[in-house]
Amino acid sequence: MKPRISVITLGVDDLERAVQFYRDGLGFASEGIVGKEFEYGAVAFFDLQAGLKLALWPRKSIAHDTGLAQSAPCETALTLGHNVGSREEVDAVMRQAELAGAVVVKPAHETFWGGYAGYFQDPDKHLWEVVWNPQWLPQD
């Protein structure tokens, strides 16, 4: 299988709150919620980088679509890494996330591998790592 990840979907409990956090708080580009006319269809998409989107979809809709029972989320099952170009940018993104309503789980700090990183949780407890890695600088 050739990996072609084009959408990362996060299950949320309150779609409007999640859109407000990502669009209004973090500044992610989105046209807002679409598909409201369909039962279990409301979703929001955000442009991340070329060929990659973030989708926010209610957890009950994911359960319905997959046929799986809705279960409690596991906070440590997944992290999303946001790689930035400097230590200062890590601090700025962490501040922005906190002002938007995120919970800072671990403040930005020097890492054992020579980088600088911190963790925050969005309103649905999805875990984000904001990281400056001198070996993996973003290609903006």
What are the structural domains of the chain? 7-65 (3.10.180.10), 79-132 (3.10.180.10)
pTM above 0.85, yes or no: yes
Coil vs helix vs strand at 93 = helix
Q: Report mean pLDDT in 10-residue bins for the chain, 140 residues.
A: 94 98 97 96 95 97 97 92 96 98 98 97 97 86
Give 114's DSSP letter. Answer: S
Cα separation of 113 and 78, whole Å?
A: 20
